[in-house]
Amino acid sequence: MESTQKLHKVLAQSGLGSRRQMEELIGQGEVRVNGQVATLGTRIGPGDKVTVSRRPVRLNFSETLPRILLYHKPEGEIVSRRDPDGRPSVFEALPRIRGMKWVSVGRLDFNTSGLLVFTTSGELANRLTHPSFEMEREYAVRVVGELTQDQLRQATVEIPLEDGPARFESIRSSGGEGTNHWYQVVLKEGRNREVRRMFEAMHVMVGRLIRVRFGRIHLSPRLKRGQFAELEPQEVRDIMQWVGLKPTPARQEAPGRSSRRTRKT
């Protein structure tokens, strides 16, 4: 008898989203198996034909390692595949992959640069961004002016925002010239424009904002703006173990696919 797997699990490891997101799609009737609307709990095998929103899906039944890509986002790009204003998208700079798609791990604002992480695993992306995991984000922030000692202390206690209080895990001065001053800040949230709004609440204007770290993943100084680099299999396995996902046996993993490319203009 041919072995089968749960539909939502196969869709997630095929790079379409997290298992929870796949369960929601199935519940909404967007998934069909062999032409029939699937239900929660449906199991499939390699011979089944699956469509999501009436589009055929290339299924991945083997639990091979996902791919993880680091991208140095320049200012002036959006983290979305579609934009009514026609602005450049970060996805235009990424390598094309057949049968899967790159999932962004969080977002960066249009005017923010720095580290963006992409993966082919919706489950991994969900784990890295889930609020319960409290992933640290570190930024280099250039402001006009300088914070007082009282402001520095208050920034790690509470800063009132319209959508609730926020605080930095840490904030330290990293020098500057003239009226410009740099700070290194760390926080465990990813709310919209949160870092900028926190400084605005302290009456300081942000001139530049660069994300330099996401959890244990650092932005390499060798990775220039507009370039990407893919992690090696061992690095991917380390990250999966770090977030508590099942590591893949070494015999199943694909060869390393590290690369750096400059975006064509």
Burial of residue 187 (number of CB atoms within 10 Å: 0-12, 13-18, 19+):
buried
Q: Return the pLDDT at 210.
A: 98
Tens digit of each residue's pLDDT (9 = 90 or more) over 71-81: 999 999 999 98
Q: Return the pLDDT at 28.
A: 95
Higher-pLDDT residue of 17, 137: 137
Tokens of 127: 């784990």
| Structural domain boundaries in the chain | 5-56, 68-132+217-247, 136-214
Q: Return the pLDDT at 252.
A: 34
Tens digit of each residue's pLDDT (9 = 90 or more) over 219-255: 999 999 999 999 988 898 889 988 888 744 433 333 3
Q: Is the pLDDT of residue 259 over 60?
A: no
What share of the chain in percent tops pLDDT 90? 59
Q: What is the CATH number of domain 136-214?
A: 3.30.2350.10
Q: What is the bridge-based pairing of β-strands 68-73 and 227-230?
A: antiparallel
Query: What does the chain look like in DSSP terms, one character per residue?
Result: ----EEHHHHHHHTTS--HHHHHHHHHTT-EEETTEE--TT-EE-TT--EEETTEE-----S-PPPPEEEEEEPTT-BSSS--TT---BGGGGSPP-TT---EEES---TT-EEEEEEES-HHHHHHHH-GGG---EEEEEEEES---HHHHHHHTT-B--TTS-B--SEEEE---STTEEEEEEEES---TTHHHHHHHHTT-EEEEEEEEEETTEE--TTS-TTEEEEPPHHHHHHHHHHTTPPPPPGGGPPPP---EEEPP-
Tens digit of each residue's pLDDT (9 = 90 or more) over 186-215: 999 888 999 999 999 999 999 999 999 999
For 180, what's the count of Cα atoms within 13 Å in the CB-facing half-sphere?
A: 10
**CATH architecture, range 5-56:** Roll (3.10)
- The CATH number corresponding to 68-132+217-247 among 3.30.1330.30, 3.30.465.10, 3.40.630.10, 3.30.2350.10 equals 3.30.2350.10
Q: Return the pLDDT at 254.
A: 38
Burial of residue 14 (number of CB atoms within 10 Å: 0-12, 13-18, 19+):
buried
Q: Return the pLDDT at 255.
A: 35
Q: Return the pLDDT at 263.
A: 45
Q: Is the pLDDT of residue 120 over 50?
A: yes
Q: Return the pLDDT at 260.
A: 43
Q: Return the pLDDT at 62.
A: 66
Give 152's contacts (C-beta < 8 A, 6+ positions apart): 171, 173
Q: Is the pLDDT of residue 10 over 90?
A: no
Q: Span 60-66, mean pLDDT?
A: 73
Q: Return the pLDDT at 63.
A: 60
Domains 68-132+217-247 and 136-214 share a fold: yes
The overall average pLDDT reported for the chain is: 87
Hey, which residues are catalytic here? 109
Distances in whole angstroms, Cα of residue 251 to Cα of each of 55, 65, 108, 237: 32, 11, 36, 13
Higher-pLDDT residue of 201, 64: 201
Q: Report the distance separating Cα 126 and Cα 207, nearest Å.
A: 31
Q: Return the pLDDT at 200.
A: 95
